[in-house]
Chains A and B, each alone.
Chain A
Amino acid sequence: MKHIISALVENKFGVLSRVSGLFSGRGFNIETISIGPTLDPTVSQMTIVTTGDERILEQILKQLNKLIDVIKVTDFADKEFVEREMCLIKINTPVEHRSEALRIADIFRARVVDSTQKSYTFQVTGDEKKIEAFIELLKPMGIKEVVRTGKIAITRD
């Protein structure tokens, strides 16, 4: 089972390594992890996507809480939330594919952020399903590179 966990952590050096060390040291999985600042400059926000059964998730939450630099842990499992991920995709675009590529991009509300004679780079945002579907459709044209941010999530009020 996939889980999204977010953690507010002290914005100190070494914190990322403490969190990732906890996962690797105990054999937990990290599927994606993303970190950014919050309104309070001394606090950062981490969003971690992990997999595991209920017992493992319970351990992950407790272990995260136990880390001295972790201020608060939120498990999204029993919450209403919005999740998003951003993805940059560079594809080969010989002349005959260019309009097709743009048409697909339009459907997914992706934007062209860079274009050359031979390539387009798209930016697309959405949940995991949408991003995967977009990538699937572009595959036949020849994807050169995909870069994803990993998920971020926020609870609904």
Chain B
Amino acid sequence: MAPIAQSDRPSESAFVIKFIHSSDLHLGKPFGKFPEDVRVRLRQARAEALVKLGNLARDHAASHILLAGDTFDQTTPAPSVIRQAMNAMRAADHVVWVVMPGNHDHANATELWRQVVQDAPANVVVLLTPAPHDLAQGVVLLPAPPGERRPGRDLTGWFDEVATGEALRIGLAHGSVTDFASSEEGGSSIIPLDRARRSGLAYLGLGDWHGQVSFGADTWYSGAPESDGFKHAKTPAALLVEIAALGAPAKVTSLPTGSICWQRVPLDLTEGDDVPTLHQQILPPLAERALTLFEMQVTGRTTALTRVALEQAAAAVAPDFLSHHADFSGLATVHATDDLDAIDRNGALRAAAEALASDAADPRQTPEARDIAQAALSHLFSYALEA
């Protein structure tokens, strides 16, 4: 597709170029692990991310939105996903959308890109090949689209060699950089950290890493505009990049975009803790819970009664959240005589409780047998407290 003439696009004259950098929208991601209502909400949030990006571009007078890969979650998403994405871009016609493939929607996903090209409005540019693209007058975009899921090589290498005259050079790539232990999917690290400097780039926009992070002033991962997991603690955001002149440093501003909060919170307990208070402290404000996927990972040690109380408290607040999960697998239970009194002071109930507690703490038992005994004891606590 031919680049769109930039003269018609809004741009503040003070800047050579001002654009929004984003990536990893993963449109069409199913989130199958979640119940249907949560899935619908998560997919809806991702679709709405396009609208938010368009709004940010308008609000900040950006001429372009550069999507650094993984706009789509699969190589053959449902036609409706593509069509609706293109429709959203069409609606934001005040900005030019530059769409580059990522590893999820790599350039060899022919059917995907065939339909994208077919459905794309005039303000959408699809860059499927590693060739310079005139982004604006005097500004050249060097894309490095992956041709497959795991390219296994540095796709930005050609940036060094390509001549672009006196134009300002902006790089756009998808993959991990060398100082990452791994990419978002655990692949090998490829893109050199000093690619921007080596290739004379004013800015290198990267995709793949879902959290926002920079490597110097000129190399940025924008992160996904909507989170899709508990991995990244930062609020999802896009980047507003402003370059005033050839040779001037890029001014990068993070603009929050996320609407759904993925919160994984550890709760490490020791005996004697004021567990109800600690539990309350880690909970987000009530108003935010409806849009929060909350995962509480309880670790440490506590008494059985406290554990049951915490389980009940967690169960009580669960309906507040879009999704709530409490993981007690890391919590060891201490069985105190007083706790067992809650079940019964003597008799068969007490004897059964003691037998289970003994098994749960018996190192001669298999871990599975101990776990089962512990779970059985927890149930007994619950029943006894009800009784």
Do the two chains belong together in a single complex?
no
Residues of chain A having any CB pair with chain B under 8 Å: none
